[in-house]
Amino acid sequence: MKTHCLETERLLLRRPVRSDLPWYTKYCLSERTRYVGGPFNEVQAFEKFASMIGHWELRGFGRFVFLERESERPLGHFGALQLSSSEPPEITWTIWNEMDQGKGFATEAGVAFKNYAMREFGLSYLIAHVHRDNSASRRLAERLGGELDVEAAPPSWLPRSVLYRFRPIA
């Protein structure tokens, strides 16, 4: 099984593995998930994490866990999911621990992922639903080239969201 490992100056990006589950569960139990329907309980965290792993098998792409290069400590995830084949793939991201926020890790992971996804997976058109009150994620979407679609209706599963559209890099 190919791990699709990417490297940046400070990060390693790879498919999620079993040892990431405790880190992800801690995130899911925290208030950091308030913009995505959380906090969640341990069973929900397990189901969400299993879904991240399974998505790779079902669609051939997915979300990477990104790790601090030096310590190999998991910091968060960044990648695409596509729950319905009638919708474009959606990129999602998060920093799992508050102490790692504001250091540019998500931006670094996002640039690496977008370039790789467009080149290796042929994902030339991506979207992101972002909770309208999540200013940090909205700024990240804009840094990554996302264009706000003010006409887009939010999905039922995230009714207070806005939509960003990402076009291919020229």
Ordered domains of the chain (ranges, CATH): 6-125 (3.40.630.30)
Give the model's pLDDT for residue 3. Answer: 58
Give the model's pLDDT for residue 167. Answer: 80
Residue-by-residue pLDDT tens, the chain, 170 positions:
455 589 999 999 999 999 999 999 999 999 999 999 999 999 999 999 999 999 999 999 999 999 999 999 999 999 999 999 998 999 999 999 999 999 999 999 999 999 899 888 888 889 999 999 999 999 999 999 999 999 999 999 899 999 999 986 54
Contacts of 63 (CB under 8 A, 6+ apart): 16, 52, 55, 77, 78, 79, 80, 81, 92
Give the model's pLDDT for residue 66. Answer: 98
Which tokens belong to 69?
A: 């290069």
Model's pTM, two decimal places? 0.92
Which tokens belong to 27?
A: 């995130």
Which tokens belong to 95?
A: 């920093």
Which secondary structure element, helix H or strand E, spans residue 6, and what is its range? strand 6-7
Cα separation, 70 vs 56, in Å, equals: 26
Give the model's pLDDT for residue 4. Answer: 56
Give the model's pLDDT for residue 170. Answer: 45
